Amino acid sequence: MIFTGLIVGALLGIVMQRGRFCVTGMLRDIFLQRSWRTFTALMIVIAVHAVGIAMLTSTGVISPEYSGFAPVAVVVGSLLFGLGIILAGGCASGTWYRSAEGLVGSWIALAMYALSSAAMKKGALGGFAVWMKQWDTGLTTIPEAFGISPWVFVILVSAVTAVMVRHFLRKERRIPKPATLGNRPAWKRPLHFYTAGALVGLIGVIAWPLSAAAGRNDGLGITTPSSNLVKFMVTGNESNIDWGVMLVLGLFVGAFIAAKAGGEFRIRVPDARTATRAVAGGLMMGVGASLAGGCTVGNGMVQTSLFSFQGWVSLVFIALGVGLGAKLWLRPTTSRPTSGGGTYTTSESLDNTLAVASDGRTLEPAPVGSGSVTSGVEEATTSASVKTTPAAPSSGGQGFGGFPAALGAVGLKEKTGASSTLRELGEGYYALDSLGAVCPFPLIDAKDVMATLDPGDHLVIDFDCTQATEAIPHWAAEDGHEITDFREQGEASWQITLRKA
């Protein structure tokens, strides 16, 4: 029966990858975008999950067990987890499926997350975890504490969610439809956030009785299965392989299949400092989730659906941790050299450091080749000269409009300052190189740069962050900017051209 976990996990991985479904981004948008649009997808998961679990519980199909609410551990752990997922670039499930997209930084974060959670649960840090959880209030669920039927809360959450969905769908209809990549079959197109949320909630409902039938009385979960996988790899003890372990392995397999089929898989290697941040973020995630009793899945989706004190308090403090992390570390790039081979340079973005090369030189544009941007850009760039400082050669050898790829920090005209990795192409066209930057940096930099441009100016963005294929077009539509071109540039690489309103 544990192999049903592999099937459920594969379905979950496909939905999450195709829906760009990451709770980190949903919580981050509240602070960075001042928007609850994507968070509404999490509310859909909770609502669908809550209805299904209440039905399964009331009919006796499942019998959930509730842990006592230990406020110190939950609050501290959730804050730590929220900070960690900002550094790691994704929540627990997001880190699993982004690993399947080829992001080596996510592999590092995932390894540290699994190792630290194993240490907290049964290893060297187990004593610390027990000590932090000693202050147990004995409270379990909110309905039990108030002597109210769980169905009251199910109906309330469902009603609030329905209002939120209606509000944001109506808002979407009032703005121009965001641009999408053309000429793609339906199965390669991303799922709408809300569709993905409903499917994740439904998968969560199905997961519980299947998991219980395999001897694991729980629903979706990432932290304990990840730690159990590490224990098995270290000890070889087959008792550690349960339904939950099969779930996370299936999640990886499903996400890989979806990414590969959609042309969104490519190995991308982080630089040393970004890798260091992945290590720190992963460790914080594992320690935090173990203290809090769950991650954004275990607490943010399952325990909230059970209306436990632990789940809702944890979700609030994870959000506060994300907000604090966003304030500390998510800011526009000052300057970042473009690295060859798809290497991440998020560390420069996080540190706001300025890259300086040993010597400077002026690059004259090469003749326009086959053209990777619109004809307007090609015409504009035929007479442009770009000042730059050299760095490692580009792996592709060509950049915007047939030019050699940007090789370093750029000298920009005064109106744009040096707020990002921007190149002036001439005739009102500017090129922003976000290749290698993990989300949300392509969007952060695009917004920062666009604010400095004049109406009618064009911004050409190269990026390889999968989530930005939805985030950038939606932001452009909301702000009224015209998208004049949007295309794939190869495996897991895209280019979009915006005209400032």
Nearest CA to 14 among 185, 182, 184, 199?
Answer: 199
Q: Helix or strand or coil: residue 108?
A: helix
Q: Are 263 and 17 in contact (CB under 8 A)?
A: no
Output the six-digit token pair for 484: 């004049």
CA distance to 31, 130, 258, 318, per residue, from 25 (Å): 10, 31, 20, 12
pLDDT value at residue 177: 87
Average pLDDT of the residues of the chain: 84
CA distance to 170, 408, 440, per residue, from 33 (Å): 18, 29, 11
pLDDT value at residue 334: 57
Output the six-digit token pair for 420: 């990002």
Consecutive 10-residue averages of pLDDT for the chain (501 residues):
95 96 95 94 98 97 94 98 96 96 96 97 93 95 96 98 97 88 80 96 97 96 96 94 97 97 92 87 98 96 97 98 95 54 40 34 33 40 34 36 34 42 88 88 92 94 92 92 92 94 91
Q: Helix or strand or coil: residue 467?
A: coil
pLDDT value at residue 289: 98
Output the six-digit token pair for 373: 């941007």
pLDDT value at residue 115: 97
Point out which residues pair with 387 in neighbouring strands. 362
**Residues annotated catalytic, as ranges:** 439
Rounded to whole angstroms, how far apart are CA atoms 389 and 411? 9
| DSSP 8-state secondary structure symbol assigned to residue 301 | I
Nearest CA to 285 among 428, 56, 79?
Answer: 79
Q: Helix or strand or coil: residue 431?
A: strand
CA distance to 273, 434, 436, 464, 466, per residue, from 343 (Å): 12, 11, 6, 11, 15
Would you tell me how many other CB atoms lie within 10 Å of the CB of residue 60?
7
The values of phi and psi at residue 431, to 5°, are -115, 125
Output the six-digit token pair for 310: 């632990």
The string of pLDDT tens digits covering residues 296-333 is 999 999 999 999 999 999 999 999 999 999 999 988 87
